[in-house]
Chains A and B, each alone.
Chain A
Amino acid sequence: MIVAEQKPLKEIIAMTSPFKKLLIVGCNECVTVCHAGGRKEVEQLAAALAMAAQKDGRPLEIKEVTLERCCDPEYIEQVRPFIDQYEAVLSCACSVGTQYFADTYPTKWALPALNTSFMGGSLAQGIWAERCAGCGNCILHETGGICPIARCSKRMLNGPCGGSTGGHCEVNPDIPCGWQLIWDRLVALGRTPDYAKIMAAKDWNTSRDGGPRKIVREDLTI
């Protein structure tokens, strides 16, 4: 899932203070699962912003709505009947959702309530970690199912580097060395000879180096 976290409240208050009518929109997908922008978080943020406005003596009208998904035009359309009553949309979706609001409603301010962080999963309640960098050319079958792009700080294809100490990364001792994890997996799988294979330089055109990406599935388009 896409993992995000709410921006500092003071930043959101500063961003929204010029507006008197605010539509706060949450998303039922990834940001609900990572407790950043679902219905509950929208409710809390709306209460906090209402309190901030009341304290400052500013009039503020808020409507809360949480859509099934904010990265799909059909759901973004659901706010069209009432969006004209509001000056701005405060999006509790990931930055994809915020941009969908900006694209769909060109005359409305689309404000981000979240910092969209990474693609990852949960390690335990309240803890999430990055697992995919979206490089566009998966090599997990060659690295024992551990991604060197997402989990090695240097994105090395033939690691580890000299900074790996006791299984930890030199960037931060709390980060496990991605290549140590790969080695441990290869040992567990009985595939240590695979480690000796030298990986060729990666073609980063499938990643961000090729510019913004798009996938077109002819069999699905109408």
Chain B
Amino acid sequence: MRLSYPANVLIIQIPCSGRIKTIHLLRALQYGADGVLVAGCREGECHFRTGNFRARCKVERVKEILDDLGLGADRVEMYNLSASMGPRFAEIAQEMTARIKELGPNPLRGPRPGENVAAALRPMVTQT
């Protein structure tokens, strides 16, 4: 399809959006990510029945925490799309990047946030 999405988006693969824990989203922001986009399957189409609903609950919880911290609830968002919706993914990545640019950089951002986030999160999401 040769679709493009912003190069600053770091992708961390997980087996199901239900694997997401609140701490994963918090750690991403703590280590300097400007925002986090959770892409789960479409509602009603979760292979594990409720994984994407659970992910949405976690995202809502993190939004509350970010609001309390004054970092802005809009830095995290949940989107529902299927694995075959490549064009929609590119559109969402652009939409989220535009939103984050408007919010400005994460005030907790240090040097090399991408590397820090990847180093912190990849082992966490593969832990049992």
Contact = CB atoms under 8 A, between A and B. Distances in A.
B96 to A, nearest CB: 20
Determine chain A's interface SS by DSSP, over half rule. helix
Interface of B: 21-23, 26-27, 29-30, 64-65, 68-71, 107-108
A48 B69 contact: yes
A54 B30 CA distance: 9
B70 A55 contact: yes
Given A9-B69, A10-B68, A40-B21, A55 B26 contact: no
Contact of A55 (B21, B27, B64, B71): B71
A9 B68 contact: yes
A54 B21 CA distance: 22
B18 to A, nearest CB: 13
B65 A48 contact: yes
In this complex, the member of B22, B69, B107, B108 whose beta carbon has the largest number of chain A beta carbons within 10 angstroms is B69
B108 A44 contact: no
B69 A55 contact: yes
Interface of A: 8-10, 13, 40, 43-44, 47-48, 50-52, 54-55
Contacts of B70: 55
B23 A43 contact: yes
Nearest to A41: B22
Contacts of A10: 68
19 contacts: A9-B64, A9-B68, A10-B68, A13-B68, A13-B69, A40-B21, A44-B26, A47-B26, A47-B27, A48-B69, A50-B30, A51-B26, A51-B30, A51-B69, A51-B71, A51-B108, A54-B108, A55-B69, A55-B107
Contacts of B65: 9, 44, 48
